[in-house]
Amino acid sequence: DTGVSQDPRHKITKRGQNVTFRCDPISEHNRLYWYRQTLGQGPEFLTYFQNEAQLEKSRLLSDRFSAERPKGSFSTLEIQRTEQGDSAMYLCASGRWGIQETQYFGPGTRLLVL
Amino acid sequence: GQQLNQSPQSMFIQEGEDVSMNCTSSSIFNTWLWYKQDPGEGPVLLIALYKAGELTSNGRLTAQFGITRKDSFLNISASIPSDVGIYFCAGHNNNDMRFGAGTRLTVKP
């Protein structure tokens, strides 16, 4: 257990539905990252927050994706109008900005869009 | 997609054997990280390297940060069945972290 939790662990939805995932980072960490991982690949960066500010978004993050971290603690990732290509593992990681930063991952949310 | 070249893609070894895998990049990184991922779980940090040339051990695992800052390797000595999994390298600069495609390790008892 890395101390990063994600909910739900699994989600099955129908194409066109909206889904929301939650990540609770390690409490003293001010940075929170979202990644997407497909089968046979390493995680791919989606976006990250420093405290409550969203500082960078990957071009992988289409307009249907939105992430928030309203109080600088937990974060949510919402996917609107899901498509079959959204099926993947969504990983959250937290870290503390500064020298020797390291990212600790949660267990992930596996999404299947039917 | 990934910008790190990780090899080999997979390894099948006998319990007790040593394992070596490596990662190369066209870009310089300030930090190299090695993670292990079990099926259905998130990656777990094994070793973090912060200085070029640094050699760091964690039990039976040893990793090195290449002098050019464009490569790293991970060695596992005396493998055991629970070493089975996918090992990922990651290069990190500030807010940018890139992963290799992973090395799938199978250990035969």
Name the nearest CA neighbour of B35 among B106, B85, B108, B95. B85
What is the Cβ-side half-sphere exposure of residue B44, based on CA atoms within 13 angstroms?
Answer: 13
Q: Which of B41, B44, B99 has its CB closest to that of A42?
A: B99
In 3-state terms chain B splits into helix, strand, coil percentages (rounded to 5) of 5, 60, 40
Least confident of A10-19, B48-57, B92-101: B92-101
Q: Kindly state the average pLDDT of the residues A88-107.
A: 88
For chain B, what is the mean pLDDT? 93
Q: Which of A31, A102, A107 has its CB closest to that of B45?
A: A102
Residue B92 has pLDDT above 60, yes or no: yes
Q: How much is the pLDDT for B1?
A: 47
Asked whether the beta carbons of residue A41 and residue B44 sit closer than 8 angstroms, the reply is no
Asked whether the beta carbons of residue A106 and residue B98 sit closer than 8 angstroms, the reply is no
